[in-house]
């Protein structure tokens, strides 16, 4: 591959090329940095870029390759990290004024694991303020007049624009999967707690997940294995049993619902069994319950700083915190009970199938940068703490990506990755934005 095209390598391709010596970590890092310099003035995916540090690390990784010492499966591969995750020596601003000058001295455990695996940290990707709803300036590489979603806006846009083969994100409601869907890349979060959230600015401790954005399911499995500290090899499946809940399709636009139904039909033709299922009654209250938990936990974390610097918070964040502070303790306890009851109620359905199929979002990426879109179809699975993955699945009439979401039960990340790999092969989606 010409050196100028190295930015297009996926995660596993890049790691294999470095390991074999056919590509040097310096060449790969330089290609990603050149891509960022060429495109990020318009896309605005990066909050902080450590060009000198990344190249210095790349030279170290090259020397290690030449001496036969490989640190791990990501040796010499450039990575972007969402700007709510601590990287030693780099700013962690959370996209917010109160943290504008924060520069941690210690890596978050997730970043320590990336470094131990040999990864090169390029810099920090843009987040919405405190990973909540206030839109970021990042633009969708498929159409710069549309949002890339949020809150992992920069991570998704960087992947779609081929600025890095891996970016780290976080999800409390839909902040990994929805941007992945809008930007036509793979977004994956495992079971709640699979990846440590220490060193990550919290939005809601009970709901926060560290996730990954990649260009394939296999890349997501590799990245999550590193972050989790244990192998998550996709479990092979030849004829998956897929559940489809009409209630989820009813919550999507007609265009998206028709697309997901066509995907289900294609899966049947490829050898899957698709069965219509009914979600438990507790599903109906899960959105309200999860929102209450989010409001109270966000308020608990931000209350000390908010009391001193309320004017430094956006209108959206002020409203969130003030609402959370008004909730009585009983409301929080009842909401958490409802959330955990839904998780218990839905587990038999999930365990009886290889995956539940759903739209990732009710519609394709909205026009403008005034909203990050609708996370309501991702929220139930974040609230339940179960693994979920978004796969690009086609192109809408608007020219923007379509996506599907696959969900499995708690502790079944490897099982979900296996059926996702099967679905990815059946979909055979390979398009990229023309940036």
Tell me which residue of 52, 57, 113 sits closest to 81, measured CA to CA. 113
**Overall average pLDDT of the 228-250 stretch:** 97
Position 389 in a domain: no
Q: Of 82, 155, 358, 393, which is the active-site residue?
A: 82
Record the pTM: 0.98
Residue 289's domain comprises: 285-335
CATH number at residue 86: 3.90.1300.10
Indicate the average pLDDT of the chain: 98
Q: What is the pLDDT of residue 194?
A: 98
**Overall average pLDDT of the 70-95 stretch:** 98
**Overall average pLDDT of the 162-174 stretch:** 99
**1 pLDDT more than 60:** no
Instruction: Tell whether 73 and 213 lie within a shared domain.
Output: yes
Residue 90's pLDDT band, with cuts at 50, 70 and 90, is very high
Position 240 in a domain: no
Residue 98's pLDDT band, with cuts at 50, 70 and 90, is confident
**2 pLDDT more than 70:** no
**Overall average pLDDT of the 65-73 stretch:** 98
Domains contained in the chain, number? 2
Mark whether 175 is an active-site residue: yes
**Overall average pLDDT of the 251-271 stretch:** 99
Domain boundary among 208, 228, 248: 228
Structure tokens at 43: 């896309």
Residue 101's pLDDT band, with cuts at 50, 70 and 90, is confident
Position 93 in a domain: yes
Instruction: Tell whether 14 and 134 lie within a shared domain.
Output: yes
Position 189 in a domain: yes
Instruction: Tell whether 203 and 296 lie within a shared domain.
Output: no
Instruction: Tell whether 47 and 166 lie within a shared domain.
Output: yes
Instruction: Tell whether 181 and 58 lie within a shared domain.
Output: yes
Say if CB 377 and CB 358 are below 8 A apart. yes
Mark whether 376 is an active-site residue: no
Instruction: Tell whether 74 and 194 lie within a shared domain.
Output: yes
pLDDT digits (tens, 9 = 90+) for 320-370: 999 999 999 999 999 999 999 999 999 999 999 999 999 999 999 999 999
pLDDT digits (tens, 9 = 90+) for 406-434: 999 999 999 999 999 999 999 999 999 99
* pLDDT cut 70: percent of the chain above it: 99
**259 pLDDT more than 60:** yes
Mark whether 151 is an active-site residue: yes
Q: Of 24, 152, 170, 175, which is the active-site residue?
A: 175
Instruction: Tell whether 77 and 8 lie within a shared domain.
Output: yes
Instruction: Tell whether 113 and 223 lie within a shared domain.
Output: yes
Instruction: Tell whether 209 and 85 lie within a shared domain.
Output: yes
Position 419 in a domain: no
Instruction: Tell whether 75 and 221 lie within a shared domain.
Output: yes
pLDDT digits (tens, 9 = 90+) for 173-186: 999 999 999 999 99
Q: Of 24, 151, 152, 170, which is the active-site residue?
A: 151
Instruction: Tell whether 33 and 180 lie within a shared domain.
Output: yes
pLDDT digits (tens, 9 = 90+) for 288-331: 999 999 999 999 999 999 999 999 999 999 999 999 999 999 99
**47 pLDDT more than 60:** yes
**Overall average pLDDT of the 79-101 stretch:** 96
Residue 380's pLDDT band, with cuts at 50, 70 and 90, is very high
Residue 4's pLDDT band, with cuts at 50, 70 and 90, is low
Position 376 in a domain: no
Instruction: Tell whether 96 and 174 lie within a shared domain.
Output: yes
Tell me which residue of 345, 372, 346, 370 sits closest to 358, measured CA to CA. 346
Domain boundary among 228, 246, 261: 228
Position 132 in a domain: yes
Domain boundary among 180, 199, 228: 228
């Amino acid at each position: 591959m010409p050196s100028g095209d190295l930015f297009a390598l996926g995660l596993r391709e890049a790691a294999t090329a470095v390991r074999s010596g056919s590509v040097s970590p310096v060449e790969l890092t330089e290609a990603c940095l050149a891509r960022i310099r060429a495109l990020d003035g318009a896309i605005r995916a990066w909050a902080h870029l450590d060009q000198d540090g990344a190249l210095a690390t790349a030279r170290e990784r090259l020397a290690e390759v030449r001496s036969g010492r490989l640190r791990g499966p990501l040796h010499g591969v450039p990575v972007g990290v969402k700007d709510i995750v601590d990287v030693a020596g780099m700013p962690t601003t959370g996209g917010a004024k109160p943290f504008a000058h924060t520069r941690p001295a210690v890596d978050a455990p997730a970043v320590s694991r990336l470094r131990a695996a040999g990864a090169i940290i390029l810099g920090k990707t843009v987040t919405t303020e405190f990973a909540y709803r206030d839109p970021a300036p990042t633009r969708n590489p498929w159409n710069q007049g549309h949002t890339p979603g949020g809150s992992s806006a920069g991570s998704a846009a960087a992947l779609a624009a081929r600025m890095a083969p891996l970016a780290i994100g976080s999800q409390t409601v839909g902040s990994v999967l929805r941007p992945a869907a809008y930007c036509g890349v793979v977004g994956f979060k495992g079971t709640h707690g699979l990846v440590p959230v220490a060193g990550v600015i919290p939005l809601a401790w009970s709901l926060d997940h560290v996730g990954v954005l990649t260009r394939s399911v296999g890349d997501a499995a590799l990245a999550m294995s590193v972050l989790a500290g244990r192998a998550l090899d996709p479990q092979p499946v030849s004829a998956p049993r897929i559940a489809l809940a009409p209630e989820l399709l009813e919550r999507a636009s007609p265009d998206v619902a028709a697309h997901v139904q066509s995907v289900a039909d294609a899966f049947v033709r490829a050898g899957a069994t698709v069965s219509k299922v009914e979600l438990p009654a507790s599903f109906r209250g899960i959105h309200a319950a999860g929102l209450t938990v989010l409001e109270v936990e966000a308020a608990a974390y931000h209350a000390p700083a908010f009391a001193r610097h309320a004017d430094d918070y956006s209108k959206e964040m002020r409203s969130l915190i003030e609402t959370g502070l008004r909730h009585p303790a009983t409301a929080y306890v009842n909401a958490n009970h409802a959330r955990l009851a839904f998780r218990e109620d839905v587990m038999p359905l999930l365990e009886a199938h290889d995956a539940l199929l759903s739209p990732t979002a009710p519609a394709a990426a909205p026009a403008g940068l005034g909203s990050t879109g609708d996370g309501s179809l991702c929220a139930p699975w974040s609230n339940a703490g179960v693994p979920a993955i978004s796969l690009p699945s086609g192109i809408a009439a608007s020219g923007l990506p379509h996506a599907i979401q696959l969900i499995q039960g708690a502790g079944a990340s490897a099982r979900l990755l296996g059926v996702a790999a099967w679905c990815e092969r059946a979909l055979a989606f390979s398009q990229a934005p023309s940036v």
